[in-house]
Chain A
Amino acid sequence: MGDEKLNNQIAEYALRLGDDALVFGQRLCEWCADAPTLEEDIAISNVGLDYLGRARMALQYAGKTLGRTEDELAFLRDSGEFRNLLLVELPRGDFAFSMVRQYLLDEFELLFFAQLCKSKDDTLGAIAAKTVKEVRYHQRRSANWMQRLGLGTQESQARTQAAIDQLWGYMPELFEMDELEASLLQAGIAVDRVELHSKWLDIVSAQFASANLQVPESDWQVVGGRKGVHTEHLGHMLGEMQFLQRAYPGLEW
């Protein structure tokens, strides 16, 4: 494989990771001044800052090969060019929805970035090393919330279970490999997502079982984010997020 082709593949991979973090970070921003307690508002912001930081590192790295800055990538692409998972673009919902999504993602990211630490690509490895530290904290927090919400009141249990049911069909996308990632896996650069699935399911199932929550038996699944086929929600998010750069193009801010 030629260097240029490999570099382009790595850039695409970094773009995926960057878009996941950016879109999710943007959703977390929507909790600002809207959390159940002031303490929780501060906690959500901390997590949001971690995601924005990760997004910037990954997009800067992708942009080096693609010849675009992090801001050009974030603010000047339309939804069809975004490569994020559908899971992270869904509207934030209530606190249960946001926290279940956070938890499901945290358990995945803990496994994923632990593997990516071993990447033969130094930059991706460095991003992963930093991310693992952050995610460890995120996971501890969201796992505690699964306990509190699942074993709290009837209402909290019901809301949390409903969120799990609504989100479950978006999870398979996290474990999907395509040609690009398979090729990078061969090169020792990418993570084998498929391999993470059973471990993830065991962990999540155990957590849910201990919190009076059920793993859904549903068999629906939705994918498309990696190919740029998104839910209708992403366009609205981008309309908001990109407003200034679109209305006043080419300026310094």
Chain B
Amino acid sequence: MAEANDLVQAFDNKIHAEEKIEPKDWMPAGYRKNLIRQMSQHAHSEVIGMQPEGNWLTRAPTLERKSVLLAKIQDEAGHGLYLYSATETLGITREEIVQALHDGHAKYASIFNYPSLTWADIGTIGWIVDGAAIVNQVALQRTSYGPYARAMVRICKEESFHQRQGYESVAVLARGSAQQKAMAQDALNRWWWPALMMFGPHDADSAHSAQSMLWKIKRKSNDELRQSFVDQTVPQAEIIGLEIPDPDLKWNEQRQHYDFGEIDWDEFKQVINGNGLCNRERLAQHKQAHANGAWVRAAVAAYVKGKTGESGE
């Protein structure tokens, strides 16, 4: 018992001293479980997030935009891979992580259950959705689990291009024809609130937040992060002449922050619980691709087995 207490004490000391926890270190079961939940959800979000963007890859309006979009989606796949690898250091396999997604036990960011309906959605996803993700990820670079923090550093470095290309692409539409500008405004109208929801429930209502903050898995609260996102994004919209779809939005001189309207939490719950436009398609597509690839993966496994068998003789 004394020994177990020592382990807990050593762990707590490391957390307190801002030292990273590394894979082979002892960690409380709850810490490990919490990390697996958050990291795998993060990884799945990167991978499922490829779908709404991939939806416009074959319809991108110029060859340069097509190349940029392909490179960006490839980055998302890479980020998913970094995060799956980092999660695997916690003693769970990729197969188990993916299986949990297919079984519905693991989640992904609910925002990807919204459809990408026009080309403007692609720029808006880069600007707003990636923008929100970056605010979250910048904070996570200081997360207490070493492999997660290092993956975040790598990801943040790459993500800045994602947000910029998105913003630039929306800016071109905003100064384009009336139809293009309307397209850009419409996309912002549809993605703004879901982006605010990405930060999760209010701190008071967040199931995992308190413990995650104590363990320094999360470094800033949902509401703090949401506020930073609003503060940085509102002026960006003004500069390109688009309107944030929130009548309650206004600068609060006293707080030195923007005040903004209440999120429709009912919609949030509806979409999380499966009533978004794309919930079933996103998961079905992932399962289908996985199932379609089964014979390929089996072939490679058999090939390697045959080859190593031969050399062993």
CB atoms of A and B under 8 A apart anywhere in the complex?
Answer: yes
Q: Give the CA-CA distance A234 to B127 in the complex, in Å.
A: 33
| Inter-chain contact B63/A56, CB cutoff 8 Å | yes
How close is A50's CB to chain B, nearest CB, in angstroms? 10
Cβ 8 A contact of A71, one of B57, B63, B74, B300: B63
Q: Which residues of A contact B300 (CB under 8 A)?
A: 148, 152
Quick check: B51 and A152 within 8 Å, CB to CB? no
User: How many residues of B are in contact with the other chain, CB < 8 A?
Assistant: 49
A75 adjacent to chain B (CB < 8 Å): yes
A241 in contact (CB, < 8 A): yes
Instruction: Report Cα–Cα, A22/B67, bound state, in Å.
Output: 11
Residues of B contacting A74 in the complex (Cβ-Cβ under 8 angstroms): 63
- Return B241 CB to nearest CB of chain A, in Å: 16
Which of A34-42, A102-110, A164-172 is the interface stretch? A34-42
Task: Identify the closest chain A residue to B98 (Cβ).
Answer: A38
Bound CA–CA A155/B302 (angstroms): 11
Q: In the bound complex, what is the Cα–Cα distance between A70 and B300 (angstroms)?
A: 40
Q: Contacts A36-B293, A36-B296, A159-B295 hold; do A45 and B63 have CB atoms under 8 A apart?
A: no
Q: Chain A contacts of B80 at CB under 8 A?
A: 38
Residues of A within 8 A of B296 (CB): 36-37, 40, 95, 149, 156
In chain B, positions 56-79 with a C-beta closer than 8 Å to chain A are 57-67, 70-71, 73-74, 77-78
- Residues in A whose Cβ lies below 8 Å from that of B70: 29, 32, 45, 48-49, 52
Per-position binary interface string of chain B over residues 266-295, scored 1 when its CB falls under 8 Å from any chain A CB and 0 otherwise: 000000000000000000011001001111
The interface bits of chain A over 78-97 (1 if a CB of B lies within 8 angstroms of the residue's CB, else 0) are 00000000000000001100
Assess whether B306 is in contact with A33, with CB atoms less than 8 Å apart: no
Asked if B299 and A253 sit within 8 Å, CB to CB, the answer is no
For window 38-73 of A, CB contacts with B under 8 Å fall at 38-42, 45-46, 48-49, 52-53, 55-56, 59, 70-71
Stretch at the interface among B24-32, B174-182, B191-199, B245-253: B174-182
Q: A22-B63, A30-B58, A38-B47 are contacts. A148–B77 as well, Cβ < 8 Å?
A: no
Q: When chains A and B are docked, how far (Å) is the Cα of A153 from the Cα of B81?
A: 27
Q: How far is the CA of A94 from the CA of B61 in the complex (A)?
A: 27
Once A and B bind, how many residue pairs between them come within 8 Å at the CB atom?
137
- Give B289's nearest chain A residue, CB to CB: A34
CB distance from B183 to the nearest CB of A (A): 9
Give the complex CA separation of A162 and B184 in angstroms: 46
Docked complex Cα distance between A53 and B285 (Å): 28
Collect the chain A residues with CB atoms within 8 Å of residue B16's CB. none
Are A42 and B298 in contact, with the CB atoms below 8 A? Answer: no
Is there a chain A Cβ closer than 8 Å to B201's Cβ?
Answer: no
Chain A CB within 8 A of B297 CB: yes
Do A59 and B61 touch across chains, with their CB atoms under 8 A apart?
no
Instruction: Check A1 for interface membership: any CB of B closer than 8 A.
Output: no
- A123-161 interface bits toward B, Cβ cutoff 8 Å, 1 = contact, 0 = none: 000000000000000000000000111011101100100
The reply to whether A251 and B299 contact each other, CB–CB distance below 8 Å, is: no
Task: Determine if B35 is an interface residue (Cβ-Cβ < 8 Å).
Answer: no
Residue in B54, B71, B299 whose Cβ sees the most chain A Cβ within 10 Å: B299
- How long is the Cα–Cα vector from A250 to B74 in the complex, in angstroms? 30
B296-310 residues at the A interface, CB under 8 angstroms: 296-303, 306-307
Chain A residues with Cβ under 8 A from B50's Cβ?
Answer: 32-33, 41
- By a CB distance below 8 angstroms, the chain B residues around A32 are 50, 54, 57, 70, 73
Q: How far is the CB of A63 from chain B (nearest CB, A)?
A: 11
Beyond A29-B58, A33-B47, A95-B293, 14 additional contacts (C-beta under 8 Å) are: A29-B70, A32-B54, A32-B57, A36-B296, A37-B293, A37-B296, A41-B77, A42-B74, A45-B74, A55-B63, A56-B64, A95-B296, A152-B302, A253-B119
Residues of A that sit less than 8 Å from B by CB: 22, 26, 29-30, 32-42, 45-46, 48-49, 52-53, 55-56, 59, 70-71, 74-75, 94-95, 147-149, 151-153, 155-156, 159, 240-241, 243-245, 248, 251-253
